[in-house]
Amino acid sequence: MSGTQNQPPLVRVDRVSKHFGEGEARVDALRDVSIEIHPGEVVALLGPSGSGKTTLLNVIGCILDPSSGSMELDGELVLENGRWLRPNLRKLRLDKIGFIFQFHNLIPFLDATDNVALVLQLAGADADTARTRALELLDYLEVGHRRNAMPAKLSGGEAQRVAIARALANRPRIILADEPTAALDSKRAGIVMDLLRKVAVEQQAAIIAVTHDEKIFDRFDRIFHLRDGRLAVDDTAREPFRS
């Protein structure tokens, strides 16, 4: 994490709250949460079920409407006083954010290359440009030799690498990961986290992961603990992770 604090944050969340329901049925999922995450950082959101970590990830991902608060993504004020400033949130997600999930969610009838290329084509790239970029990413993540494999023929670790390639397709600098290693054994989980760190450092991206996976805790620069919708602790590692 050395040096990242001298750069403007890629994610700045300012007093964001989210509640569901009203009156006696109201549930406060987030309560005045403020965090900043800088280029090159890999951070975790931890907390028990119902603590607000997935809600926070979904707000940062512009999937869930917050009740109040403001947010900047990659230098752009996108949320102010609980209101989105962009009318097209789908375009905002395509422009700025990549998503990685616990289960790779690859399209079963497309091979590895086409699973990645499809994202680019949805964003407006022509087929040749999309395929070239997809192959570059698969090679970058050391799974290029499986470019023609169907998802059912990929190992868990290979499928997750393809999913990471898909998340990087549009060159987002903010990567959101929801339990990215929960379905992997210790060795493969470590490999995936090392790849995410490589992305963070080389592309100066911010990576935010919701996780319960204790075997990867030492891979994070900082760990944010949420409890009852509030940010309870921000643990900063004494030394940046070294592979």
Mean pLDDT across 176-201: 83
Count of CB atoms situated within 10 Å of the CB of 216: 22
In eight-state DSSP terms, residue 40 is T
Residue 39, pLDDT score: 95
pLDDT in tens, 100-156: 887 778 999 999 999 999 988 988 889 999 999 999 999 988 899 999 999 999 988
DSSP 8-state code for residue 61: T
* pLDDT score for 105: 83
Domain spans in the chain, listed from the N-terminal domain onward: 4-236
Q: Which CATH class is domain 4-236?
A: alpha beta
For residues 138 and 116, the answer to whether their CB atoms sit within 8 Å is: yes
Close Cβ partners of 171 (under 8 Å, ≥ 6 residues apart): 203
Comparing CA positions, the residue from 176, 173, 13 lying closest to residue 79 is 13
pTM, entire model: 0.84
